[in-house]
Structure 1
Amino acid sequence: MKHFVVLICCILTLSSMGQDKLPYYEITENYEEYTAGTVTARMLDGLGFRFYWATEGITEKELSYKASEEGRTYLETVRHILGLSRIVVNSALKQPNDNAIQYPELSYDEMRAEILNNVKTASDILKAETDLNEFNIVFKSEKGDRVIPFWNNINGPIEDAVWHCGQLVVLRRAAGNPMLSKPSFFNGKVRN
C-alpha cells in the first residue's frame, strides 16, 4: 500500500512536469449548485489559486529566506504545505496517511507541481459529492489507525495551508520579490 501511494505521488508529479500549465492559474467558473462537496471544492480552488500566485516567479534567493532565526524558510514552508496537501488528497482518495512512507526528496518545482495537483485532485473528487462523511482523515501507524472526521480537513490542513500561503507572500516580499498584482483573489481571475 505504501508503495502504491508513493507511486501515485510520483506519477502526479511527473505528469504535471510534462504540462505547460499547472492548475490554478485561474479558478474555473462557479459550480451550478451549493453542496457540501462544491463548497469544499471551491475552498480548495481558492487555496490552489492563492498557492499558485504565492509561489509563481520564485528564485533561489527567496527559497532560503526566513524572517527570523526560529522561523521556517520559504522552502520549508512550501514543504509543510506539501504535507498538508497530501493529507487532504489522501482523504479525498480515501487513502490513509502512513507515517512509514518515505517520500522521495523533491525539488521546489516538483513540490509546487505536486501541491497544485493534489489540491486539484481533491477538488475534482469532492465537488461531485454531496455527503463528505466517508472522506475521513486516516492516520496509519504501528499503534493502529486513527480516524478523524472530514470536518477537521476544513479547519485543519486546508485552512492551515491558506494561512501558510499568506506567510509565503510575506516572505517573498521581505526577500525583495513581491507577488505580482495581476491575480484578483476576489474573482479568481488574472487581470490584464
Structure 2
Amino acid sequence: MKLKNTLMALFFITVMNAQEKYPQDLPYYQIPDYPDSYTAGTVVARMIDGLGFRYYWATEGLRPEDLAYKPSESNRTIDETLDHLYSLSRVVYNSAVKEINDRTQPREEALSFQEKRKRTLLNFKKASEIFITVKDLNEHLVIFKSKSGTFENPFWNQINGPIEDAIWHSGQIVALRRASGNPIDPKVNVFRGNRRSE
C-alpha cells in the first residue's frame, strides 16, 4: 500500500511538472492531425499549423537574456522579432476573418512576452481553424488601411508575405537563441510535428 501511494504521488508530481513546463492552454505543442483531403483551405491551414508548431518551440523557454539578445547593434532583439511575428499573426488572422489591417489606429500597448506569445499562437490557431473549411481563398484578401488609402491584395500575397515571413522569423529566433546560449529543445521533430518523449 505504501509503495502504491508513493508511486501515485510520483505520477502526480511528474504530471504537474510536465504541465508547468509545457502549458496545455497554448496550441501547437504538437501539430494537429492532418485533414482527410487536400483543398486550398486545408493546405493553407496546414501551412499555418506548421508555422504555429515552429513558433511554439522557437519561443518555448526563452529567458529574459534571450529576449534582449541581438547579434549586433543593427539587428532586432529576439523580443523585437516577437513583436513583428505578433503583427504578422494578426495579418494572417484578419485575412481569415475578412477584416482590414487598419494602420491608422494607435499601436497596442506593449505586451509581456508570455501574453505576446499566447496571442500569436491563438491567432495562428484561429486562422487555421477558419481556413481549413474554406473552399475559395479569393474571398480572403489581405487589406491594409493607411493614411494614404486602403489597399487590397489577393490571397497569394498572404502566402508569400505574412505566412512565409513568419516562418522565416521563427527560424531567426531559433538561430538567435542558440547564439545566446539557449538552443531549442533537441527533441522537437518538425517533420513529424511533435516532441520525442525519449
Length-normalised TM-score, structure 1: 0.88
Q: Percent identity?
A: 53
In structure 2, the residue matched to 1:73 is 77
Question: Is 1:184 matched with 2:189?
Answer: yes
* Matched residue type, 1:138: I
2:118 is aligned, of 113, 119, 122, to 113
In structure 1, the residue matched to 2:20 is none
Q: Secondary structure in 1 aligned to 2:170?
A: helix
Question: Is 1:139 matched with 2:144?
Answer: yes
Query: In the TM superposition, what is the alpha-carbon distance from 1:105 to its structure 2 partner?
Result: 1.6
- Structure 1: distance between partners of 2:44 and 2:175: 26
- Structure 2: distance between partners of 1:136 and 1:177: 38
1:43 is aligned, of 40, 47, 52, to 47
- Structure 1: distance between partners of 2:46 and 2:188: 17
- Structure 1: distance between partners of 2:27 and 2:87: 18
Q: Which moved more, 1:139-148 or 1:49-58?
A: 139-148
Q: Which moved more, 1:96-105 or 1:27-36?
A: 96-105
* Matched residue type, 1:142: K
2:101 is aligned, of 87, 97, 102, to 97
Matched length: 174
- Structure 2: distance between partners of 1:21 and 1:183: 19
Query: In the TM superposition, what is the alpha-carbon distance from 1:182 to its structure 2 partner?
Result: 1.5
Unaligned runs of 5+ in 1: 1-18
Unaligned runs of 5+ in 2: 1-22
Query: In the TM superposition, what is the alpha-carbon distance from 1:165 to its structure 2 partner?
Result: 0.6
| Backbone CA RMSD of aligned residues | 1.0
Please tell me whether Structure 1 or Structure 2 has the larger radius of gyration of its CA atoms: 2
Structure 1 residue runs of 4 or more that deviate by more than 4 Å after TM superposition: none
Length-normalised TM-score, structure 2: 0.85
